Structure 1
Amino acid sequence: MKILIVADNKDPLVYSPNIKKRFGDVEVILGAGDLPMEYYGFIVSSLNRPLYFIFGNHDLKHYQVFKKGERAIQVGGAGDDPTSLQNLYKNSFGATYIGDKVVRLKSKKLLIAGLGGSLRYNKGVNQYTEFQMRLKMLKMVPRLLWNKWRHGRYLDILLTHAAPRGIHDKEDPCHLGFKSFLWFMDKYKPRYLLHGHIHLYSLNDKRVTQYKETTVINTYDHYLLDYEENNG
């Protein structure tokens, strides 16, 4: 199964009339943040494939719409805030938001979790301390344990915006990675951690790193992952 991951930049190879010729065999698309929703919409409408995304620390025009829409669903159900839910649907552009969630793509036998945002550096939107990010992970634990019991593994892919600390990250406060991502990989052993946030300016920049049982990939611009499907 081929998975197309996009992040941080509207790649001219993707944002092109030839997208279907280049990526027509892709079955799933993932968005690792810092991209406009309209770009996701173009990809979905062009390839007619499901797209799952998280937000980064930029391009947050629609961020509050998704957060408000989620709260309306969780608190009172679909009938309590129709305006919010309509906005959520209207602004989704055919994509599915998986921030702070663990989802199973049943038809692809794929277990994915999404953790958006970056390490806090100026108290901006969708920025988190290490403690806050760890709390987000702990809320996922019941579903991860269910996955382990039901499917024999916790997770296949952890989709993040920021990088793990010491893997592909930079030393400036904005681009420093999360230590808690290392803990997550140690504990729950996803096959892949796919992130954005770290721009690649040279062909010599490292894109793929093996960390114990997890392959960490910087998906800046776009990355085409040839994924071997699981049995359950």
Structure 2
Amino acid sequence: MKLLCISDETDPLVYSKNIASRYADVDAVISAGDLPLKYYEFIISSLNKPLFFVFGNHNLEYLHQFNDHSLLLNQYGYKDGKVQPLPPFGGEFSDGKVLYDKKHDLIIAGLGGSMRYNKGAHQYSEREMYFRMLKMVPRLLFNRLFRGRWVDILITHAAPLGLGDDTDRCHQGFSTFLTFMQWFKPRYLLHGHIHLHDMNANRHHVYKRTKVINIFQSYILDDPALGKGREDGKNRR
């Protein structure tokens, strides 16, 4: 399975008239946040592929509408006292959820947001992120019992603590993600938030059995084992 992964900054190679030919062979798109919804709409309309996304700590104009299930069902939200329609871009909102892509037999979980560093939206303390993770446990347990594994990919915005994060409060990683990887053994954790000013900088880390990848701007993840029911599932339960 081949995934186009994006985060934090638009990539001119993606935001291009040649996107359809350049990325024709990708099966799905993953976003770790901090990108405008219009960018997602362009990608989906150009590639006609499913897109799974979480929100980061920027580009949060529509966050409250996605978090309010009743507003999302009606496809309308409120801003400054006025009704505001959601962009009909068709992406799969994965933040705080565990989703199953039946076509590709792929299980995706999402935990967006950053460490709390001011009073901005979609920022969490370590304790708050931990309890967000716990809310996923029933669905993850269902997957373990009926699909043979907990989850394939965890999408986060922030990095795991000590694995590609930074020392300032805003960019500090979450130890909750280390716990998630230890308990639920995803094949991948895909995150953004840490900008790579040197594109040759290391994007990859490994924790337990999980490959951690910083997908800043864009990254192609090509793994033939994804989307095949996790043939190695017995060794990863």
Q: TM-score, normalised by structure 1?
A: 0.91
Asked if structure 1 preserves the Cα contact closer than 8 Å seen for 2:28 and 2:51, the reply is: yes
CA distance in 1: counterparts of 2:219 and 2:213, whole angstroms: 9
Match of 1:201 among 178, 197, 201: 197
Please report how far the alpha carbon of residue 231 of structure 1 lies from its aligned counterpart in structure 2 after TM superposition.
2.4
Match of 1:106 in 2: 102
Look up the SS of the partner of 2:4 in the other structure.
strand
CA distance in 1: counterparts of 2:70 and 2:167, whole angstroms: 35
Structure 1 position 9 matched with structure 2 position 47: no
Segments of 5+ residues of structure 2 without an aligned counterpart are 231-237
**1:166-225 CA-partner distances (Å, limit 9, x unpaired):** 001000111000011001101111000000000001134210111110000000001111
CA distance in 1: counterparts of 2:148 and 2:157, whole angstroms: 27
Residues 1-232 of structure 1 aligned to structure 2 (within 5 Å) = 1-68=1-68, 70-72=69-71, 78=73, 83-84=76-77, 90-227=86-223, 228=225, 229-231=227-229
CA distance in 2: counterparts of 1:122 and 1:185, whole angstroms: 27
CA distance in 2: counterparts of 1:82 and 1:166, whole angstroms: 39
Asked if structure 2 preserves the Cα contact closer than 8 Å seen for 1:65 and 1:87, the reply is: no
CA distance in 2: counterparts of 1:125 and 1:72, whole angstroms: 18
CA distance in 1: counterparts of 2:55 and 2:67, whole angstroms: 11
After superposition, the Cα gap between the structure-2 partners of 1:60 and 1:83, relative to the gap in structure 1 and judged at 3 Å, is closer
Look up the SS of the partner of 1:26 in the other structure.
coil
Segments of 5+ residues of structure 1 without an aligned counterpart are none
Please report how far the alpha carbon of residue 92 of structure 1 lies from its aligned counterpart in structure 2 after TM superposition.
4.2
After superposition, the Cα gap between the structure-2 partners of 1:26 and 1:87, relative to the gap in structure 1 and judged at 3 Å, is farther
CA distance in 2: counterparts of 1:185 and 1:34, whole angstroms: 23
Aligned length: 224
After superposition, the Cα gap between the structure-2 partners of 1:191 and 1:82, relative to the gap in structure 1 and judged at 3 Å, is closer
Asked if structure 1 preserves the Cα contact closer than 8 Å seen for 2:54 and 2:93, the reply is: yes
Asked if structure 1 preserves the Cα contact closer than 8 Å seen for 2:53 and 2:92, the reply is: yes
Identity of aligned residues (%): 50
CA distance in 1: counterparts of 2:119 and 2:126, whole angstroms: 13
Question: RMSD across aligned C-alpha pairs, in angstroms?
Answer: 1.8
CA distance in 1: counterparts of 2:111 and 2:160, whole angstroms: 12
Asked if structure 1 preserves the Cα contact closer than 8 Å seen for 2:30 and 2:52, the reply is: yes
Q: TM-score, normalised by structure 2?
A: 0.90
CA distance in 1: counterparts of 2:186 and 2:88, whole angstroms: 27
User: One-letter code of the match for 1:41?
Assistant: E
Look up the SS of the partner of 1:107 in the other structure.
coil
Asked if structure 1 preserves the Cα contact closer than 8 Å seen for 2:65 and 2:76, the reply is: no
Structure in which a larger fraction of residues adopt helix? 1
